């Protein structure tokens, strides 16, 4: 009898637990592409997302998109970002 009561209470307790609610981000929310090649969190807690259409930085509130602009020498080299790394200087 105790075993059955324990089992019932155990299952009822588990159904009352809730995990953190997730957020879905799409290209409607300033993400440059849904085709993601890599995700990295740096020392300053920015989340960098490598996509097939640019590099995205998420600061916890908004996205900043970095893309290649042929006439701008300060833009990234290519929009297809394959992977992400942080060097020893935090760059």
pTM for the whole structure: 0.71
* pLDDT, tens digit, 9 for 90 and up, residues 21-72: 667 777 777 889 889 999 999 999 999 999 999 999 999 999 999 999 999 9
C-alpha span between 65 and 56 (Å, rounded): 5
Strand, coil or helix: 54:
strand
pLDDT of 9 reads: 64
């Amino acid at each position: 009898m105790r075993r059955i009561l324990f089992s019932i209470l155990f299952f009822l307790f588990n159904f009352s637990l809730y995990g953190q609610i997730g957020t879905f981000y799409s290209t409607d929310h300033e993400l440059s592409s849904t085709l993601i090649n890599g995700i990295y969190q740096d020392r300053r807690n920015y989340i960098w997302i490598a996509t097939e259409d640019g590099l995205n930085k998420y600061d916890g509130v908004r996205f900043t998109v970095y893309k290649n602009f042929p006439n701008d020498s300060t833009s990234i080299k290519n929009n297809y970002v394959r992977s992400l790394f942080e060097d020893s200087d935090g760059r």
